[in-house]
Amino acid sequence: MADLDLDQFRLDVRQWLSDNCPPSQRQPITREEQVWAGRNMQFPSEDAKLWFERMRDRGWTVPDWPAELGGGGLNEQQSKILRDEMKQLGCRTPLYDIGIWMLGPAVLEFGTEEQKREHIPRIARGEVRWCQGYSEPSAGSDLASLRTRAEDCGDHFLVNGSKIWTTNADKSDWIFCLVRTDPDAKKQEGISFLLIDMADPGITTSPIELISGESEFCQTFFDNVKVPKRNLIGELNQGWSVAKALLRHERKLMAEIGGDTPGPSFGPVQAALHYVGCDASGKLRDPALREQLVRHEMAYRAVGLTHFRTFEERISGQTDSNVPLIMKYVGTEEGKRKDELLVALLGFQGLGWEGDGFNSDELLTTRGWLFSKALSIAGGSSEVQLNIIAKRVLGLPQQ
Amino acid sequence: MALVLNEEQRYLKETAREFFRTQMPVDVLRQLRAGKCPVGYRNEDWQKMNELGWAGIVLPEEYGGLDFGYMGLGAILEEGGRTLAPSPLLSSVVMGATLILQAGSAQQREQLLPAIASGELTVAVALEEGHHHDPYPGNTNLVADGDGFVLSGTKSFVADGFAADKLIVVARSAGSAGQAEGLSLVLVDGDQAGLTKQPRCFADSRAAASISFDDIRLPASALLGDLRGGTPPLELALDCARICLGAEMFGGALECFERTVDYLKEREQFGVKIGSFQALQHRASLMYIELQLTKSVVLDALSAIDEKRADLPQLASLAKALCNDVFELVTSEAVQMHGGIGVTDELDIGLFLKRSRMATQQLGSSGFHRDRYATLCGY
């Protein structure tokens, strides 16, 4: 019976999407066309606005969040069906925001009822753009050594310090931060999780230019910023457990986007056929590139199957699986290899920087390749991931 | 697509693990090696496996099988891989029975399959002629002669070929080496006059033979399937066997990995457990990652056989290449991480190393399968 219900759900979803998703919103999306949440939301087109509003009104910007808080109220299987059907039709993601991907799930897990009612519906409706304040100039992989202070001043905290790699901080309305609330406690134990309005006095941001030429990462400075106490998520000095839960969401997200960084519209096989070509026997002309390509394609398929296996394991109740712990490493490392491969396949055309002589896919190959280098560093570097596997999965002794 | 075992399959896997742990530990292979037995497995073990119904596990019920599927057989082979357990499951039940089921006449199927399913008859497939796996050989010939055929040539590597009751010989009836067309399949008794078998002793202590056919006259009824029609059933049988061998290799790699991680937790040098060194931790984590990726592929490939999926050839090459690579990685690292004791015969790790390289050569190296995968994908 449950299966039948799901089949019916799938048909309903399919029908609704085909009735409501404008044809223009079923084309592959470019970066400029992404609709980001925010107080001053910008839409690249009327269709994008329409599509966003229709999805928002069904709660499908956040399909698996509670309906009474602005979500779609779907269970995991229904959410997957919606994702599958959107993918099948090529529907664009209607709303982009790390409030959806990261903060929301943490507020739902750790927040009070009041905090949920304050923040969750606004995230679901795309009214606030969020950014994340974790790393600091001297706290990267060793995140727990962070030093941004939040001093208890009775009815508020006084925040001083700076955060780095705050993605899109210059465009964001709110920031969720890890701050030190007890400087005398052991590393992880004196940290709290705070939500801060970026419009508050004392906050400044400054973009950082990356090797890819982009500057979506910023450094954010806090100079005597007053933060109301009700913005504390979870218990005082217990922020590390909130952060860990949130990091899992980030890693899951990065595992998924690792192979899908902003890049060209073609995949490695298409690029190989176009830029290298085949000989009379139908084999790629360059045997070394052919070998590199097939290795990547095989690994990529294995990664995809492993994603699917973790899903099946979860659905079938085999929750003791450690497989999700490998996916951040695997997704980002394979993503980097894919981008290296694309550059190699395109040759000179894969290294164009700007201007004439290169089409947009070629330029995106260059930029995507350079950007992919950040993915195995951000959100817990690959080396940290290997440490985690050694400790938590293999149970190897710690020094 | 099924990437997790159902309850029945999990139960079978547990039964198999217990069986191999208690009845066929690695010491069985050591005993066989010491006895220089050309059969390659102990008959008593094979009988016990038959009592559990494993020889008929993938065969249809109409031929006395259990029709339990390859997800189940894969689970058995994986557990057998953990103790390097030798048996004719792959040669007779996967390769032999698949060819008979696909190509055989109704009479051949009825005559042979129930006997294979019960384990009383074993079949080996004689394919390889050169130094490397090649599905399209050219130097064993099957020529029409009156109302029958004449078979001549030499097969250099026939797994479990010395003791098999019957051989299915892949022979050329048209064309030349390297061509997919023109191959025929023919059934020959293991003790047929004009057939010479020489045991070959390989590093992994499994049984293989070199077999010559000296102008053997065969009746028309010996032909399996159509003359020159051998390739399609052969391709399918090879793909099933590649995946099943992959499952066995995965089990071997997993066992070797677990033994190595255990050793890292107990061996002390410089006053600490060596497993606390980051240089070793990262290498262990990388092996774990490769094993997890390979596991997903093996499961998907096994389910592709059961579901008769069109992408079976791709998955067979994907699975065999990845299993080759992960088994090589893990066994090499296992020897190194065990240090001096890793290169002694006393430790089982060396047996896994030897099995890894032999299994890699069987049914296609990683290079063979990457080339095939690329070709199947159109580049």
Domain residue limits, chain B:
7-122, 124-227, 232-376
CB contact under 8 A, B379 and A284: yes
The CATH topology of domain B7-122 is Butyryl-Coa Dehydrogenase, subunit A; domain 1 (1.10.540)
> Token digits for A123?
């995230």
* A130-239: CATH topology: Butyryl-CoA Dehydrogenase, subunit A; domain 2 (2.40.110)
Which residue(s) pair with A301 in the sheet? none
Which residue is closest to A300 within chain B, CA to CA? Answer: B293
- Taking an 8 Å cut-off on Cβ atoms, the answer to whether A390 and B284 are in contact is yes
The model's pLDDT over A341-361, given as tens digits with 9 standing for 90+, comes to: 999 999 999 999 999 999 999
Which CATH code is given to the segment(s) A2-96? 1.10.540
Nearest CA in chain A to B273: A397
Q: How many CB pairs lie under 8 A apart between chains A and B?
A: 122
Find the closest chain A residue to B372 by CA distance: A294
Q: Is the pLDDT of residue A250 over 90?
A: no
Confidence band (pLDDT; 50, 70, 90) for A320? Answer: low
- Say if domain A261-393 classifies as CATH 3.20.20.60: no
CATH 2.40.110.10 fits B124-227, yes or no: yes
CB-based contact B3 A386, cutoff 8 Å: no
| Span A14-22, average pLDDT | 96
- Note whether A4 contacts B: Cβ–Cβ < 8 A: no
Q: What is the pLDDT of residues B229-268, one digit of tens each?
A: 999 999 999 999 999 999 999 999 999 999 999 999 999 9
**Cβ–Cβ of B293/A282 closer than 8 Å?**
no
CB < 8 Å to B373, chain A:
294, 297-298
B63 to chain A, minimum CA–CA distance in Å? 33
pLDDT at residue A315 above 90?
no
Q: Check CB contact under 8 Å for B276 and A305.
A: no
Class of domain B232-376: mainly alpha
Residues of chain A with Cβ-Cβ distance to B299 below 8 Å are 305, 309
Using one digit for the tens of pLDDT, what is the confidence trace for B1-28? Answer: 689 999 999 999 999 999 999 999 999 9
Check CB contact of B71 with chain A, cutoff 8 Å: no
Asked if B282 is an interface residue toward chain A (Cβ–Cβ < 8 A), one would say yes
Query: Which residues does chain B have within 8 Å of residue A284's beta carbon, measured at their own beta carbons?
Result: 374, 379
Between chains, do A390 and B282 touch, taking CB under 8 Å as contact? yes
- Return the pLDDT at A378: 87
Three-state secondary structure readout of chain B: CCCCCCHHHHHHHHHHHHHHHHHCCHHHHHHHHHHCCCCCCCHHHHHHHHHCCHHHCCCCHHHCCCCCCHHHHHHHHHHHHHCCCCCCHHHHHHHHHHHHHHHCCHHHHHHHHHHHHHCCCCEEEECECCCCCCCCCCCCEEEEECCEEEEEEEEEEEECCCCCCEEEEEEECCCCCCCCCCEEEEEEECCCCCEEEEEEECCCCCEEEEEEEEEEEEEHHHEECCCCCCHHHHHHHHHHHHHHHHHHHHHHHHHHHHHHHHHHHHCEECCEEHHHCHHHHHHHHHHHHHHHHHHHHHHHHHHHHHCCCCCHHHHHHHHHHHHHHHHHHHHHHHHHHHHHHHHCCCCCHHHHHHHHHHHHHCCCCHHHHHHHHHHHCCC
Q: Does A393 touch chain B (CB under 8 A)?
A: yes
Do residue A399 and residue B294 have CB atoms under 8 angstroms apart? Answer: no
Would the CB atoms of B297 and A302 count as touching at under 8 Å? yes
**Which residue of B lies nearest to A289 if distances are taken between CA atoms?**
B379
Q: What is the pLDDT of residue A260?
A: 43
Ranking A12-26, A186-200, A246-260, B342-356 by mean pLDDT, the lowest is A246-260
Spell out the per-residue pLDDT of chain B, length 379, in tens: 689 999 999 999 999 999 999 999 999 999 999 998 899 999 999 999 999 999 999 999 999 999 999 999 999 999 999 999 999 999 999 999 999 999 999 999 999 999 999 999 999 999 999 999 999 999 999 999 999 999 999 999 999 999 999 999 999 999 999 999 999 999 999 999 999 999 999 999 999 999 999 999 999 999 999 999 999 999 999 999 999 999 999 999 999 999 999 999 999 999 999 999 999 999 999 999 999 999 999 999 999 999 999 999 999 999 999 999 999 999 999 999 999 999 999 999 999 999 999 999 999 999 999 999 999 999 9
Give B189→chain A minimum CA distance, Å. Answer: 40
- In chain B, which residue's Cα lies nearest the Cα of A306? B296
pLDDT above 60 (res A284): yes
Question: B276 vs A318: CB contact, 8 Å cut-off?
Answer: no
Domains of chain A, by residue range, sit at 2-96, 130-239, 261-393
pLDDT-derived band at A2 (thresholds 50, 70, 90) equals low
Note the pLDDT tens digit of each residue in A109-120.
999 999 999 999
pLDDT at A228 over 70: yes
Q: Write out chain A residues lying below 8 Å of B375, CB-based.
A: 282-283
B375 and A398 in contact by Cβ < 8 A? Answer: no
Name the residue facing B377 among A297, A305, A326 (closest C-beta): A297
